Chains A and B, each alone.
Chain A
Amino acid sequence: MTAVETRTGRVEVHGVHKSFGAHEVLNGVDLVVEPGSVTVVLGPSGSGKSTLLRSINHLEAVDRGFIALDGELVGYRRKGDTLHELKERDLLRQRTRFGFVFQSFNLFPHLTALENVVEAPVSAQGRNRREVEAEARELLARVGLADKADAHPRQLSGGQQQRVAIARALAMRPAVLLFDEPTSALDPELVGEVLAVIADLARTGTTMIVVTHEIGFARQAADQIVFMDEGRIVEQGTPTDVLDHPQHERTKAFLAKVL
C-alpha cells in the first residue's frame, strides 16, 4: 500500500457509547480504520456490530464519544469547545461520503436498477444526469449486471439485488463503504457472487468496513479483523492474529462455533 498517504477515508471511532432505553448496545468502542484498508467486524448477534456501523454514517446518533472521517466530525461541527449538531441538509451532504449496503438491500422497488443507481448522484450531489447514467451502466457492468439495467428489483434474485445495491453505493464515489451483513439475507448459493464483488472492491483502495459472518471472506479480504462482544471490541488484529491465534476466551468460543 504505497499510496496510503494520498488516500482519503480514514475513520476514527473514539469512546462511543449508545443505549436503546436501558440496554447498552455500544459500551466504549475505539477503532481506527486506515485509508484504503478493509476492516471486517465479527461477533455474535446483539454484540453491537450493526449499531456501530450505523453510527459511523450517523444513521444512529451516539450518546457519548465521537466519530470522525478524515478528521471531520460526523454529525457535528466543532466551534471552539462546543459541538453543534449538523442541520439535516449538512448531515445528508456528509452522508454522501459514505456508501452503505444493507442486509435487506433496500433497493427502491418502484425504480429500475439503473434508476436506483442514478438517483442519489443526481439529486444529492447535483451531478449531470447523462454522465451519471453512463457511469451507472459501467458500475452495473462491473458487478456483472450490464443486462439488468432496466429490470425492477422484484425481477432480480437476492444476489443480483445486492449487487445493484453495491453499485448504487459506489455511484456516490464514497470515501468509505459500509457493509451491514451484506450476505445474511441471501440463499447460500448466492452468497458467493456478492462476496466476489466485495472482495474485488477491496482491491481498489476504497476504505471498507464489513460486518459479516463469513469467516472465509474475512480471512481472504481483511487487513484488520475486529471481534466485538457485548458492545465492546474484545480483540483486533490481522486475520492470522484473530482467526488463528485468538487471545480472548469469547473469540475462541465464537470461532469454535462458526469455523
Chain B
Amino acid sequence: MTTLETRPSAAAPPAGTPYDQFRVVKAKNPGRWAATAVVAVLLAMVLNSLITNPRWEWGVVWAYLGEVSIVQGVWMTIKLTLITAVLGFALGTVLALMRLSQSPLLRAVSWGYTWVFRSVPLILQLLLWYNLAYLYQSLDVGIPFGPSFASFETLSLIDKFGAAILGLGLHQAAYSAEIVRAGILSVDQGQHEAAASLGIPRRRQSTKIVLPQAMRTIVPTAVNEIIGLFKGTSIVYVLALGELFYTVSVIYGRTQRVLPMLVVAAIWYVVLTTVVTVIQYYVERYYAKGAVRTLPPTPLQRLRGNLTAGLSRVRPVGDHR
C-alpha cells in the first residue's frame, strides 16, 4: 500500500525526466471532422445553386438594389421604425411606471391599455386609425367637457403616415411597457431601499439609480423589438404607404420580376438588422458598466487580441525547431 508519504506528488515529475521535450499528440475527434465535412458540402451546394440558377436574376437584383424609389422606401422604413420605437418606448416607460404606481386607477389603466393593444391585431389597429376621421370629423383642444380653443380636421391631421405612426407606436407601447416593467422589477429591492434611505428625490431615484440598472435587462429585449419593428413596418403596406416592402411590391407588380425584387427587399432588411445588431453590442457594453468586473472587448479589440494570441502561438513552435 502506498501511504501519503511514499506516493509521488502529481505536480513534480520524477527527477531527470524532461517532459518538456516530449512530443504532444492532440486528441482526435473523428465525429467533429465528419460533421464539419457534411456541413461544408451542404454549404457548397447552397452557394452553387445561388450562383448557377439563372432564375435568381442577380443582374436585376443588383440593378434595383440602389434604385431611387427603393432607397426612398428604405428611408421610409427607417423613419417609421425609429419614430415608432421612440414613441413606443417613451409611452411604454410611462405605462410601466403607472403599472408600478401606488394608485389603483393608474395601475388599472396601464393594465387595461396593455390588455387592449396587445389583444387587437396590428393590421386591424392600423386600419382603425386610418379611418378615425369617420368616427371623429374634428379633434378639439380645450377644457374637458368645456369649451374648445382650437379644432383640427382629423383627415388633415392623420394622413397615411400619421396613421402608421399611431398604429405602430401605440401597439409597440403595450409591448415596451412590459419590457420596461420587467427591467425595473429585475433591479434588486436593496437598490430602491438604499436610494430611499439616502433621501434621493423620487424622480432621481428612477432616472439615476433604477433605470440605468434596468437597462441591462431591457436592452436585449428592446433591440429584439426594434428588429421586429424594422420588418414589422412592412405591414403598413395595407395603407399603401411607400415603405420598402410596398415599394418592392409595386415594382414587381409592374415588372413581374417577383423573385429578384423580393431578394432586393430581403438584402435591405438584413442590412438594417445588421446595423442594429452592431449598435446593440455597444449599447449593452455601455450598460454592463459596473455589472461585470471587466468590460467585454469591442470587436476591434477582440480581433487585435486574436492576432497577438495567434502570433504568440506561432513563435514557440519556431523556437523549438
Contact = CB atoms under 8 A, between A and B. Distances in A.
By size class, the interface of chain A is 20 to 34
A109 interface: yes
A103 to B, nearest CB: 9
B191 interface: yes
B40 interface: no
Nearest to A152: B290
Interface string B182-209: 0000001011011111111110100011
Contacts of B304: none
B4 interface: no
Contact of B190 (A92, A102, A172): A102
A95 B208 contact: no
Given A108-B209, A110-B289, A123 B201 contact: yes
A100 interface: yes
Contacts of A95: 196-199
Contact of B202 (A88, A98, A109, A168): A88
A129 interface: no
B291 interface: yes
Contacts of B191: 106, 108
B213 interface: yes
A251 interface: no
A195 interface: no
A102 B193 contact: yes
Nearest to B287: A110
Interface of A: 57, 59, 88-89, 92-96, 98, 100, 102, 104, 106-111, 119-120, 123-125, 152-155, 168-169, 172
B291 A59 contact: no
B212 interface: yes
Given A111-B290, A154-B293, A172 B199 contact: yes
Interface residues of B, number: 24
Interface string B208-237: 110011000000000000000000000000
B292 interface: yes
Contacts of B290: 108-111, 152-154
Given A106-B190, A108-B191, A152-B289, A96 B198 contact: yes
Nearest to A155: B293
Interface of B: 188, 190-191, 193-202, 204, 208-209, 212-213, 287, 289-293
A244 to B, nearest CB: 35
12 contacts: A92-B199, A93-B199, A94-B199, A95-B198, A100-B194, A100-B197, A102-B190, A102-B197, A106-B193, A106-B194, A108-B213, A110-B213
A92 to B, nearest CB: 4
Given A59-B193, A102-B190, A124 B291 contact: no
A22 to B, nearest CB: 23
Given A108-B191, A111-B290, A124-B204, 12 more contacts: A95-B196, A95-B198, A100-B198, A102-B193, A106-B194, A109-B213, A109-B291, A110-B289, A119-B208, A119-B209, A125-B199, A152-B289
A57 B197 contact: yes
B196 A59 contact: yes
B200 A124 contact: yes
B291 A154 contact: yes
Contacts of A119: 198, 200, 208-209
A152 B294 CA distance: 10
> Which of A93, A109, A119, A172 is the most central at the interface, judged by chain B CB atoms within 10 Å of its CB?
A109
Closest 8 CB pairs of A and B: A106-B194, A120-B198, A96-B199, A110-B290, A100-B197, A106-B190, A124-B199, A95-B199
B292 A102 contact: no
Contacts of A57: 197
A154 B290 CA distance: 6
Contacts of A111: 290
Contact of B212 (A93, A107, A110, A120): A110
Contacts of A168: 198
Contact of A124 (B198, B287, B289, B293): B198
B29 to A, nearest CB: 37
Contacts of B193: 59, 102, 106
Nearest to A104: B190
Contacts of B292: 154
